[in-house]
A and B are shown apart, each in its own frame.
Chain A
Amino acid sequence: MMWRLNQFKDNTAVIIEYGEKIPYSALLHDSQKLAEKVKDRCLVFNLCSNEYGSLLGYVAFLNNRIVPVMLDAHLDRMLLNNLIESYKPDYLWLPARMKNEFGYSVAYESNGYALLKTPYEKVFPLYDELALLLTTSGSTGSPKLVRQSYQNIQANTKSIAQYLDLDETERPITTLPMSYTYGLSIINTHLYVGASMILTQKTLMQKEFWQQFRDYKATSFGGVPYIYEMLDKLRFFRMDLPSLRTMTQAGGKLSPELHRKFAEYAAETGRKFIVMYGQTEATARMAYLPPEYALAKVGSMGIAIPGGKFRLIDADGNEITEPEAVGELVYEGANVTLGYAESGGDLAKGDERNGVLITGDMARRDKDGFYYIVGRKKRFLKIFGSRVNLDETERLIKSGFGDMDAACAGKDDEMVVFITDKTKEKEVQNFLEEKLNLNRLAFRVKYIESIPKNESGKTLYAALEKFYD
């Protein structure tokens, strides 16, 4: 079993929005009941939201060798249908309010969630060590999933719990979806130590969130860069939050100004601010900046987590050892995932990475051994914490808008989409908001007469930069 819930049976596992406390013994009981309905190892889509039903499903599946694909319950329906078509899951586990939207029969209901039986029966064989599948965050409609093993999750969970020094007195409040690797790692690590999780669907911008934070005495939260921008906007530093101990940050590079502000706040108020770095491909976490260095090393994402190792390589794959030189970051550790799946047939695949992940991030290491991300090798942006592949987005637009040419470029937190049909600006904006499930403020759609290209027809992205503003 992934988690020994029995060991903590009298502890509170979950505090839900209106304050009810659910002990580990109930979580164990509820998850076992669900697992009995599924019977044996197969594929289930868990449509996640930050409520108890979603969590008990996750626990039931992982503890009983049932393989969940963790998806956002708000995922665009067409993209969800594509995933169902590609992977043919045996069941869907989803908020009961959605149970009639699929035409599948309801096999079981519990705590606001429903188990739907699809017409599929173990269509694709599952590799024996395969535990869990996650999207590479920020879905662009590609059916690509990251394959994580039981060992991956155990190794990463143990390492994170160790460097964050977690124990059963912790009470994180959710600020991220559990279908997102960072949100899920917070759940994994706190289940592992027997702590209590405050599950809320409210956002930072709602007074109910802060009410729950104070009433249920939250000790920590995690945030991607835009969450820290919001906290700054909300004048977080003036809020009275006596229970708060720790703030963690991941999901993209925080601006050095904000990093410094939060590190100073933490130093002044006796709290911890911990900048971290990771990818779904490494289960969740690869690096952290120990809180005692938060101010001394502003802008750094830290050092490898316990059990992990970094190196930098040049374009020929040779290791770079001198300080301050930029190279591609390579990580080694037991949390490096098995590989990707592009369709159901790939679920039988074994370990394709053997513990080595070439991250695609360009980094430098200072003389004290701390790492700094300086850029990216591949064409993607991190928008509001989600990875968005620019080439895939481009394909999505081209397939949605027929003859119109398009090019996607931009900087983090803002994609600039160039299109060659002036009348389609708003339509493209709406289309992307819908398909990528991201706020429309993430994209700026701009008309351009023609997309600059080289002789072989490849888009010259550098030539587009001057049109960003």
Chain B
Amino acid sequence: MTNLEKYINAFTTTFGIGESEVEGLEYQQIKAWDSIGHMSLVSAIEDAFGIMMDTDDIIDFSSFEKGKEILKKYDVEIESV
């Protein structure tokens, strides 16, 4: 799996949505991405890339796009489509 695929997969499995729905997705835009969903999403991403995110990054992770930026700090490059 590419990093992009792993990244998308974390969103689709945590929130039960399709791949077409992840682009542009923001925190609280769908019911599943509330604070509980956020905690699971962060865990899924940490597991997928073998990283531990800092508190400031967890609470700054406010959208699908923003997450890509944050992951760069952890040397995880999400390929652009």
Interface residues of A (CB under 8 A from B): 203-207, 209-210, 226, 229-230, 233-235, 238-239, 384, 426, 429-430, 433-434, 439-442
Contact = CB atoms under 8 A, between A and B. Distances in A.
Contact of A204 (B14, B31, B35, B60): B35
A439 B31 contact: yes
A369 B15 CA distance: 45
B39 A440 contact: no
A206 B16 contact: no
A226 B36 CA distance: 8
B42 interface: yes
Given A206-B27, A433-B31, A239 B36 contact: no
B34 to A, nearest CB: 6
A229 B37 CA distance: 13
Interface string B6-42: 0000000011100000000001000110111111101
A230 B36 CA distance: 8
B58 interface: yes
A384 B39 CA distance: 13
B51 interface: no
B43 to A, nearest CB: 8
Contacts of B48: none
B32 A233 contact: no
A441 B30 CA distance: 13
Given A233-B42, A429-B16, A440-B16, A207 B35 contact: no
A203 B55 contact: no
B47 to A, nearest CB: 13
A334 B34 CA distance: 37
B60 A207 contact: yes
Contacts of B39: 205, 229-230, 233
A417 to B, nearest CB: 14
B58 A205 contact: yes
Most buried by A among B16, B27, B58, B59: B59
Contacts of A233: 39, 42-43, 58
B35 A235 contact: no
A440 B12 CA distance: 13
B56 interface: yes
A436 to B, nearest CB: 11
Contact of A205 (B31, B32, B35): B35
Nearest to B59: A207
A239 B15 CA distance: 28
A235 B39 CA distance: 12
A238 B34 contact: no
Contacts of B60: 207
B40 A441 contact: yes
A230 B39 CA distance: 7
B32 A439 contact: yes
Interface in B54-76: 54-56, 58-60, 62
A439 B36 contact: yes
A430 B31 CA distance: 10
Contacts of B37: 439-441
A230 B15 CA distance: 18
Nearest first, the 10 A-B pairs at minimum CB distance are A203-B35, A439-B36, A207-B59, A205-B38, A205-B35, A234-B55, A235-B55, A440-B32, A230-B39, A207-B60
Given A204-B35, A205-B27, A441-B32, 11 more contacts: A203-B35, A205-B38, A207-B56, A229-B39, A234-B55, A235-B54, A238-B55, A429-B16, A439-B31, A440-B37, A441-B14
Contacts of B38: 203, 205
B77 to A, nearest CB: 24
A206 B36 contact: no
A440 B34 CA distance: 10
A210 B58 CA distance: 12
B7 to A, nearest CB: 19
Nearest to B34: A439
Given A205-B27, A206-B27, A233-B42, A441 B36 contact: yes
